[in-house]
């Protein structure tokens, strides 16, 4: 029996949604690297939740949620990030900052959407500063 903490190799993934999600994260990481970001973390985890990507450009750290879709029939991919998911991402971001943050860092939440609407390369879109955490 496989340990629950060991990720399966991609070839063993059976669910096409998981395969699409990972392919989207890889496409998003390549897109951000081409824009001058350095990927600091991929799938930074806390319990059942994860940050898809943590990307750095100088002192700017972007916590990036990646949304991959084959179609826009159910709306824009970024619209699927509700308040609960944003709350969970804020908690993960706080943990990442406590463990890996540097003095002088600036932080924001970004969304990268990846859409495959046919064969070939996907359309990648980067939404910077997609939302802000409101302190209560």
For 107-135, the DSSP string reads: EEEEEEEEE--SSSSPEEEEEEEEE-PPP
Task: Print pLDDT tens along the chain (136 aa).
Answer: 344 444 556 666 677 777 788 888 889 999 999 999 999 999 898 888 899 999 999 999 999 999 988 877 777 778 788 899 999 999 999 999 999 999 999 999 999 999 887 777 888 999 999 888 876 5
Helix (H) or strand (E) holding 42: strand 38-46
Q: What is the pTM for the complete model shown?
A: 0.85
Domain 13-131 CATH (choose: 3.10.20.30, 3.40.1350.10, 3.40.50.150, 3.65.10.10)? 3.40.1350.10
Sequence spans of domains, the chain: 13-131
Determine the Cα–Cα distance for residues 97 and 58; give it in Å rounded to an integer. 15
Phi, psi angle pair for 134, to nearest 5°: -100, 120
């Amino acid at each position: 029996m496989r340990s629950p903490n060991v990720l399966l190799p991609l070839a063993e993934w059976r669910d096409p949604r998981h395969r699409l999600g990972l392919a989207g994260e890889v496409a998003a990481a390549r897109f951000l690297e081409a824009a001058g970001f350095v990927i600091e973390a991929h799938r930074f985890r806390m319990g059942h939740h994860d940050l898809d990507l943590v990307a750095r450009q100088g002192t700017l750290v972007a916590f990036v949620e990646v949304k991959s879709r084959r179609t826009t029939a159910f709306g824009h991919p970024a619209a699927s990030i509700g308040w609960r998911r944003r709350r969970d991402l804020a908690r993960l971001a706080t943990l990442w900052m406590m463990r890996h943050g540097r003095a002088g860092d600036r932080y924001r939440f970004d969304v990268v959407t990846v859409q495959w609407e046919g064969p070939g390369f996907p359309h990648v879109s980067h939404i910077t500063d997609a939302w802000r955490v409101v302190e209560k």
